[in-house]
Amino acid sequence: MFNIVTEMKSISQNLLSIREQLPANVLLVAVSKTQLNSAIEEAYETGQRVFGENRIQELVAKAESLPSDIQWHMIGHLQSNKVKYIAPFVSLIHAIDKPKLLTEINKEAAKNNRTIRVLLQFHIAEEESKFGFNKKEAIELLSSKEYESYSNVEVIGVMGMATFTDNETQVRDEFRTLKDIFDGLKRDFFPKNSSFKEISMGMSGDYKLAITEGSTMVRIGSSIFGNRG
């Protein structure tokens, strides 16, 4: 007689082994998109409190039905007309890719009497389809009168996605590009602002590389929850 050992690790085992590899200054965002509440609850039981979602409807439904001390991060592309649904509770919005979106977030945050923290998304990948600013556009935004007038939105860093490729050199270069952009913006726009410190980069396939290149937030889904169905 012997026990059948399955290859599949549990969500909590995956979480624990990933956490062991993360330096203390790197936040783990558990990307729970498409996952059932039961899977999120298992991660929650293991102490995970920060979760990332990329669809508004799903994010709102989960926030309503899961524990209230979860910090929900919106990591996906966000349309201006959807901001109102998450403005009351969202903890961080990762993917600001248009000035107009900031205007809307500022307005909805004010209605809810709060300040919403956001990251500026940069286009660092080779692929055309990925959203994001380039450096020039971000400088224009941060120098604008509109930006100066925002009292309910706080830009705390940058976010980017590397090209989906096995070419490690390319991925490393793309992460370096994002780190350089961060350093430049920090120097020119946020020298005395201690909140501007986040670099959200790294997913299941490339988070180790992202950490060596200066990531402070990794967004990990499939390595925690398994492949999405």
Beta bridge partners of 120: 96, 158
Nearest to ligand PLP of 33, 135 (CB atom): 33
Which sign does the torsion angle of CA 29, 34, 39, 44 carry? positive
Nearest to ligand PLP of 54, 216 (CB atom): 54
Report in angstroms how near the CB of residue 17 gets to ligand PLP at its nearest: 14
Report in angstroms how near the CB of residue 12 gets to ligand PLP at its nearest: 17
Report in angstroms how near the CB of residue 228 gets to ligand PLP at its nearest: 7
Nearest to ligand PLP of 48, 54 (CB atom): 54
Within 13 Å of residue 44, how many CA atoms lie on the same side as its CB? Answer: 17
Report in angstroms how near the CB of residue 141 gets to ligand PLP at its nearest: 21
Q: Tell me how far apart the alpha carbons of residues 135 and 8 are, in angstroms, rounded to a whole number.
A: 42
Nearest to ligand PLP of 177, 200 (CB atom): 200
Q: Tell me how far apart the alpha carbons of residues 119 and 99 are, in angstroms, rounded to a whole number.
A: 12
Nearest to ligand PLP of 14, 54 (CB atom): 54
Tokens of 155: 């830009």
Q: Kindly list the residues in this chain that would bind ligand PLP in the complex (CB under 6 A).
A: 31, 33, 54, 75-76, 161, 203-205, 219-223
Report in angstroms how near the CB of residue 113 gets to ligand PLP at its nearest: 29
**Residues 6 or more apart whose Cβ sits within 8 Å of residue 210:** 162, 175, 201, 202, 218
> CB count, 10 Å around CB of 121?
27
